[in-house]
Amino acid sequence: MSTPVNVKILDREFTVGVEAGEQESLQASARFLDARMREIRGNNRMVSIDQVAVLAALNLAHEFLQLKKAADERDGVLHQTLGDMNRKLDGLFDSFPR
């Protein structure tokens, strides 16, 4: 069941429905987004909130894709290493008499 939670981003209040137990995570996400948007806006209060939101979303998407790429590369290396270890273990087990 979804529970309404109020969050504040750039001095604007939004109500978002979240599942039980996810309220703190949503609040932390809102604080993070608010800080990013304030950083992008800087001292220029004339920039529209739409522009700030799009730039924040673009920056966050870029960071997400970089992290995903790094994780995928790490997973590939891990998969390769585990495969090598399994082949070595298979070789050891094959050398034992049955």
For the chain, the domains span 2-95
pLDDT, residue 13, reads 97
Over residues 10-30, the pLDDT tens digits come to 999 999 999 989 999 999 999
Question: 12 - beta bridge partners?
Answer: 9
Single-letter amino acid code for the residue at 80: Q
The second-level CATH assignment, the architecture, of 2-95 is 2-Layer Sandwich (3.30)
Using 50, 70 and 90 to split pLDDT, how confident is the model at 93?
Answer: confident
Query: Which whole number is the average pLDDT over 28-43?
Result: 95
Q: Tens digits of per-residue pLDDT, 42-89?
A: 988 888 999 999 999 999 999 999 999 999 999 999 999 999 999 999
